[in-house]
Amino acid sequence: MAPSTKAAKSQYAEMSAAKKAITTLFEAAKRGDIATIRQAKGDLAAYKDGHGKHCLHFAAVSGSEACVGAVAAMAPTLVNLADEAGVAPLAFAASRCLLGCCEALLQCGADAKAVDGQGATALHRAASPVCDVAGGRSAIDAARLVAALVAAGGDPGAQTKSSGAPLHWAAGCDDEAAMPLACAAARALIRAGADVDAADARGLNAIILAGATGNVRAVELLADAGADCGVIVGGGATVVHMTADRGDAEALESLIESGKNGVEAAKNVDADGRTAAACAASEGHDACARLLAEATGEDLAALLAAANAEREAEAAEAAAAAAAAPAVTKKAAAATAEDKARAAALKNEGNRALVAGDHAAAVAKYTEALALDDGDKAFFSNRATARLALFEASKDADLARGALADADAAVALDGAWPKAHYRRGTALMALDDYEEAATAFFDALKLDENNEGLKKALQDCVAKGRAHAQQAK
């Protein structure tokens, strides 16, 4: 065997053995197996995964305080050693709401003030636990963890580069499984002196985030703590409008009775000319409309009549659209099986061009496909994507308008398809119509309530709309 071959095989064997040793060590740390950890050869700090996490990161989420203490004693330098994203073991454990492991790390000298690459502390992560592992932890654990981190020097007012203070993280929690823990953390943060009206880098306070994400219990908590309900975001909406739109009467009571500027916020007229009571009436939440009308002095009967008229007009418009629908799919009805097959092949060519970054070619292929069969919603949706990519490069408004027309066609073909409404929202944002874009994203979310991408799109749209309005002023 040639020397080079022997060297390569030897190197491969060494790498395989090292990988096996790291896997064995980290699996032991995750299950709290101290005996196996003690068998590791050399310095534990030398063992890291591809993201820079080490043995104590994995022990920190084992749920075993004894394992955390043992690893920290074996390798004290690991206690505050962060991974490549700047996340130290304490923040790793805090994100899982593991009170015992966090207390063990603090006793070993973990720094509660340490920040990661985005400026987040362990308090930020404790305020918004990782949703898929939050089960089994209690609200009491979450509150005690916040108190322990604050006692160790954690700052309730610490701001990240873009997403605010720990209270913003708690209020913005949008996963139902983790919401009880986040609300308990928010309550503990307020007790520790967190400013309920502190603004994040986008100028939003925590109660706005709670309203935007549908974290109703956080809305109530913050309102009862005197948070300002009068912050106006893109489209003229306030947290009162958001809550009225969802129809949560208990949260509305807190906003009106306890929140700062609650009644004034309810009276604010959004971009559609609606007060919060009108929003509630428009969505059929009559009890909420009554509650708000009593607080603001509005004419409830007039609000309900206007909402009813609006619904009748929408129904008439939908009926007219349904009657006109055959014209939209005329080619689809006439398309032969051969046409449809050729159109599908052209769409695939367009998809390949889209992936390759040749957006002009993608538009051309989708247009050819539509000439053969204009009854496939994906053809319109994909062409909208390609046109928006061209718009981003050229800022030619005609491309954005074309993308909007494509998205409208996709909605006409299948109004129950969330992606069609999402495409409509992105096209409207390209045209700086943030109010209509937010409505489109909200329409998509109503069809796919648990889609995190849609939730983020709506949040980004609200933030950008507000910034755009401020810039215009």
Q: CB under 8 Å to 155, separation ≥6 — which residues?
A: 113, 121, 123
Most confident of 12-21, 25-34, 309-318: 25-34
Q: Taking all residues of the chain, what is their mean pLDDT, rounded to a whole number?
A: 88
Q: Evaluate if residue 194 carries a pLDDT over 60.
A: yes
Select the more confidently predicted residue: 21 or 407: 407
Per cent of the chain over pLDDT 70 is 90
Q: Evaluate if residue 395 carries a pLDDT over 50.
A: yes
pLDDT attached to residue 402:
93
CATH, range 231-323? 1.25.40
Q: Evaluate if residue 329 carries a pLDDT over 70.
A: no
pLDDT attached to residue 66:
96
* pLDDT 10s digits, 271-298: 888 999 999 999 899 999 999 999 999 9
pLDDT, average across residues 97-105? 95
Of the pLDDT bands very low, low, confident and very high (cuts 50, 70, 90), residue 223 is: very high
pLDDT, average across residues 204-231? 92
pLDDT attached to residue 178:
86
Q: Evaluate if residue 334 carries a pLDDT over 90.
A: no
pLDDT, average across residues 289-315? 92
Identify the CATH class of 329-472: mainly alpha
Contact indicator for 292, 241 with CB cutoff of 8 Å: no
For residue 372, the tally of other CB atoms under 10 A from its CB is 23
Instruction: Specify the fold of 18-230.
Output: 1.25.40
pLDDT, average across residues 344-360? 85
Domain boundaries, the chain: 18-230, 231-323, 329-472
pLDDT attached to residue 328:
46
pLDDT attached to residue 193:
96
* pLDDT 10s digits, 153-167: 999 999 998 889 999
Q: Evaluate if residue 333 carries a pLDDT over 80.
A: no
Per cent of the chain over pLDDT 90 is 59
- The yes-or-no answer to whether 18-230 and 231-323 have a common fold is yes
pLDDT, average across residues 72-98? 95
pLDDT attached to residue 221:
96
- To the question of pTM greater than 0.85 for the whole model, the response is no
Distance (Å) of CA 398 to CA 28, 283, 352, 391, 432: 59, 34, 24, 8, 13
pLDDT attached to residue 321:
57
Distance of alpha carbon 286 from alpha carbon 277, whole angstroms: 9
Closest CA relative to residue 434, chosen from 401, 407, 464: 464
pLDDT, average across residues 160-188? 91
pLDDT attached to residue 134:
41
